[in-house]
């Protein structure tokens, strides 16, 4: 049993024994002792003062005396104001080490016997390539999935491709008007990038038409509706929804170009899915469910034919579900997709990784599903995240100012190459080994820099800052892992076998104990990260672990330690640290490197 759990269970009984008062287990708060104070775990006394009608110092002193007497792991205590700081015996940390130091699955739980958790992420449009915003979405969704799996959940990763709608028709119309039969083969471009170029071209020509109409006396709002290009795009959407053969043929062709391009980018990022849904296959089911809602008087139809939901009782505005011409809106296909996922997986939870600009949308979706009496309405969870920008500022797809995901990964690899060569990190490597290193360092730097930030926060991605070997970065952590492996390569083979016993407690140095304490924290970090759906917990933890190892490495000799018992212990302590660093980085989707 984890010592924190043990203390949480025993404290109510100790309080009952000392003060003859029952306390709720929820009032027992135990946390790691802050670094500036002596101790390993801290019991927060303040919640007990009103109940026990005694000073926190008095309560803390009496509790500490009993815990030292009754809990074999507790060596001593001190009380500072309303905090009882407990110091554990060295034997506890060394027993923990012997039990777990060779466990490559340390921190991971056995599979839970429960329904699967569905995580939707990526959700690209087929009118443009993946960009920096998609990168944050993909990395967050992938890492959350890995963390939930490590915690024991059965995770299904799904992608909803937005392959229909007016934005798709814009790219198609521009290709028909100005493409001259261009294809990925004829241009040498990735399909998603080629289609994205036509989307930008449409917007450029559309703005010209708007400007001309405004000059002729129309308002901007009217000009945006009356411009010939947007009228043609709307007509194309109607034809598509009516199954027009020629329109559908172009749609299929251009979408296939995009899918092939997406696959290249996904593979490069290390992203995969258990199932891919397409909006073109889900919106009809959504429309059918909406029509059923009208028949049941859950929704209502206006005189113009549009279908709406009255959400005034839920504290929201009325929501359009079907346009007067019968075409669907985003919420319609989301209703259909949710129904399909329920049929496919019967999940305990459906997590949608979508930017915070869609907070209202998902609030509405949950309320609509509730009104429809869907049994899965409470399982919908929106994992909302903030915008990501470059130092130069915001990106706009329609203006062609987005940072293409492929271009950004190219830049990261190039930057990694320049910096690793400059620092002499590739000495003695073959050309193939160097290329592998550049890819892992570059992509690792990109992933870590994004994932170390709490998802809810907006962030600025700085490529150069992300590859600082001395900063709060992946390269610093990867170099630490490579350093550990350098030690292990030089260590005698017999000193890499699992230990059955370890050093005597009096030999445990302060830095060794601090490293053990951090390793001890790893399962709790996985739990917290899974509970909060926040990879930043793992990212910041593994950085602290790497820092602590480097301080230990600086202060203590490992291979040249004259005491053989201590040397063996330190070799295995380094190995254990490497296991946890590798595991934690893996939860972020980052590959470690053995040499650097």
Whether residue 471 sits in one domain with residue 381? no
Domain end call among 70, 88, 106? 88
Whether residue 568 sits in one domain with residue 525? yes
435: closest CA among 445, 447, 420, 423? 420
Domain end call among 399, 424, 450? 399
Range of the domain at 443: 405-587
d(CA 30, CA 367): 38
Strand partners, 157: 119
557: closest CA among 570, 573, 548? 570
Whether residue 413 sits in one domain with residue 394? no
Per-residue model confidence (pLDDT) at position 399? 47
The SS3 of residue 151 is helix
Domain-located, residue 318 = yes
Domain end call among 351, 373, 399? 399
Whether residue 202 sits in one domain with residue 70? no
CATH of the domain at 496: 1.10.730.10
Domain-located, residue 106 = no
Low-confidence ranges of the chain (pLDDT < 70): 393-402, 495
> Please, which contacts does 520-528 make with residues 24 or more away whose CB atoms are closer than 8 Å?
520/93, 520/96, 521/32, 522/106, 522/107, 522/580, 522/583, 522/584, 523/2, 523/106, 523/107, 524/2, 524/4, 525/107, 525/584, 526/107, 526/108, 526/109, 526/147, 526/150, 526/151, 526/587, 527/151
Per-residue model confidence (pLDDT) at position 402? 67
Per-residue model confidence (pLDDT) at position 113? 84
Whether residue 151 sits in one domain with residue 75? no
Whether residue 345 sits in one domain with residue 206? yes
Whether residue 268 sits in one domain with residue 132? yes
Q: pTM of the full predicted structure?
A: 0.92
Domain-located, residue 100 = no
Domain-located, residue 494 = yes
DSSP, residue by residue, 271-309: ---SEEEEHHHHHHHHHHHHHHHHHTTSSEE-TTS-EEE
CATH of the domain at 82: 3.30.1360.70
The residues, any chain, with a CB within 8 Å of residue 536's CB and separated by 6 or more, are 451, 452, 453, 454, 455
| Contact yes or no for 272/265 (Cβ under 8 A) | no
Number of domains in the chain: 3
DSSP-derived pairing of the beta strands 319-322 and 83-88: unpaired
Per-residue model confidence (pLDDT) at position 485? 95
Per-residue model confidence (pLDDT) at position 397? 42
Strand partners, 328: 322
| Contact yes or no for 422/593 (Cβ under 8 A) | no
Whether residue 305 sits in one domain with residue 212? yes
Whether residue 410 sits in one domain with residue 395? no
Whether residue 241 sits in one domain with residue 267? yes
Per-residue model confidence (pLDDT) at position 288? 95
Domain-located, residue 185 = yes
Whether residue 430 sits in one domain with residue 394? no
d(CA 347, CA 301): 32
Per-residue model confidence (pLDDT) at position 401? 53
Per-residue model confidence (pLDDT) at position 126? 96
């Amino acid at each position: 049993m984890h010592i924190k759990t043990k203390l949480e269970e025993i404290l109510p009984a100790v309080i009952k024994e000392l003060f003859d008062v029952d306390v709720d287990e929820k009032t027992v708060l135990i946390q790691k002792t802050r670094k500036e104070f002596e101790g390993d775990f801290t019991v927060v006394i303040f919640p007990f003062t009103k109940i026990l009608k005694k000073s926190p110092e008095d309560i803390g002193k009496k509790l500490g005396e009993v815990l030292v007497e009754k809990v074999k792991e507790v060596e001593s205590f001190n009380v500072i104001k309303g905090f009882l700081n407990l110091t554990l015996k060295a034997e506890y940390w060394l027993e923990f080490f012997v039990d777990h130091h060779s466990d490559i699955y340390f921190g991971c739980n056995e599979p839970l016997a429960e329904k699967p958790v569905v995580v939707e992420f990526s959700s690209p449009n087929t009118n443009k390539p993946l960009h920096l915003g998609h990168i944050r979405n993909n990395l967050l969704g992938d890492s959350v999935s890995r963390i939930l799996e490590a915690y024991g959940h059965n995770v299904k990763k799904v992608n909803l491709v937005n392959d229909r709608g007016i934005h798709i028709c814009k790219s198609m119309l521009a290709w028909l008007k100005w493409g001259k039969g261009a294809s990925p083969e004829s241009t040498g471009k990735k399909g998603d990038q080629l289609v994205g170029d036509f989307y930008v071209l449409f917007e450029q020509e559309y703005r010209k038409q708007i400007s001309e109409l405004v000059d002729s006396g129309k308002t901007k709002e009217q000009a945006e509706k009356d411009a010939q290009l947007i009228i043609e795009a709307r007509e194309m959407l109607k034809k598509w929804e009516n199954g027009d053969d020629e329109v559908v043929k172009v749609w299929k062709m251009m979408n296939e170009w995009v899918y092939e391009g997406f696959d290249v980018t996904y593979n490069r990022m290390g992203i995969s899915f258990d199932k891919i849904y397409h909006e073109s296959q889900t919106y009809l089911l959504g429309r059918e469910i909406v029509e059923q809602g009208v028949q049941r008087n859950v929704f209502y139809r206006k005189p113009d034919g549009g279908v709406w939901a009255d959400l005034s009782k839920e504290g929201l505005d009325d929501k359009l579900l079907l346009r007067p011409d019968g075409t669907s809106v985003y919420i319609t296909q989301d209703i259909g997709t949710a129904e399909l996922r329920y049929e496919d997986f019967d999940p305990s939870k459906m997590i949608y990784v979508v930017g915070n600009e869609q907070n209202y949308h998902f609030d509405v979706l949950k309320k609509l599903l509730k009104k429809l009496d869907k049994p899965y309405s409470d399982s919908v969870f929106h994992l909302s995240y903030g915008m990501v920008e470059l130092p130069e500022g915001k990106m706009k797809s329609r203006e062609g100012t987005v940072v293409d995901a492929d271009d950004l990964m190219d830049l990261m690899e190039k930057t990694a190459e320049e910096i690793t060569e400059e620092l002499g990190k590739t000495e003695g490597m073959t050309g193939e080994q160097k290329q592998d290193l550049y890819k892992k360092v570059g992509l690792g730097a990109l992933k870590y820099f994004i994932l170390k930030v709490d998802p809810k926060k907006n962030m600025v991605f700085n490529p150069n800052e992300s590859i600082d070997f001395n900063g709060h970065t992946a390269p610093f952590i990867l170099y630490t892992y490579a350093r550990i492996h350098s030690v292990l390569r030089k260590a005698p083979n017999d000193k890499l076998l699992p230990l059955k016993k370890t050093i005597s407690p009096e030999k445990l140095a302060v830095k060794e104990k601090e490293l053990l304490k951090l390793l001890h924290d790893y399962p709790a970090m996985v739990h917290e990260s899974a509970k909060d759906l926040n990879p930043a917990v793992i990212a910041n933890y593994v950085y602290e672990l790497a820092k602590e190892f480097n301080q230990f490495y600086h202060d203590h000799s490992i291979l040249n330690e004259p005491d053989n018992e201590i040397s063996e212990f330190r070799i295995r302590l380094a190995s254990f640290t490497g296991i946890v660093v590798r595991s934690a980085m893996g939860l972020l989707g980052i590959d470690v490197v053995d040499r650097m």
